Amino acid sequence: MYAWHSHTIRLVLAVVVLTSLAGFNFRVVLPVLADRTLHSGSTTFGILFAAFGLGSIAGGLTVASIGEPTWRKLLGGAVCFNVALLLLAPLHSAAGAAAVLFVVGISFTFWMANTQSILQLAAPDQLRGRIISLFLFAWAGAAPLSALVAGWLCHVGRNRASARSSWVRRTRRDDCSP
């Protein structure tokens, strides 16, 4: 009940659910992006994930060096994360996709670090573990629904298989087939 009655915690968890529903499963369609859209194999797929990982490291180092968490940083990370995924959708070049995934990694880490920090600072000591459990449920609990929606939109909507293109771009049906 504490989480429901705390405006800060309730709002942070709502941002987590919405952002997770919209962008959490970009990693699920990334292999299809590499195969069907970029017409490449496992090496390119590995490079794309490495770019995301390098961006995450850069984001973590940046977050650690800039001080206390704020709503502005949390929302900035969440917005940049989703905008970067939208920018990934129309790309047909591995280099461009890697550059955008680097930005996705930075913004993802920015969003997640500030989210968890704000939650932990807002919760009383005796409830921190429970609040973080709610955070993990909000973040990962949205994943199955998000994956179903992304797959369904990709199949039914004939959308190109990339991070967010299932929301913004229509092409051939076979772009999303296994």
Q: What is the DSSP string of 23-59?
A: HTTHHHHHHHIIIIIS---HHHHHHHHHHHHHHHHHH
Tokens representing 104 are 């996705």
| Residue ranges covered by each domain of the chain | 2-175
pLDDT of residue 4: 87
pLDDT of residue 9: 93
pLDDT of residue 159: 40
pLDDT-flagged residues of the chain (< 50) = 157-178
What kind of architecture, by CATH, is found in domain 2-175?
Answer: Up-down Bundle (1.20)
pTM for the whole structure: 0.80
pLDDT of residue 82: 87
Tokens representing 108 are 């993802």
CB 22 within 8 A of CB 86: no
pLDDT of residue 86: 83
Residue 159 DSSP one-character state: B
pLDDT of residue 160: 46
pLDDT of residue 31: 83
170 SS3 class: strand
Distances (CA, A) of 130 to 69, 98, 158: 20, 36, 41
User: How far, in Å, CA of 166 to CA of 154, rounded?
Assistant: 5
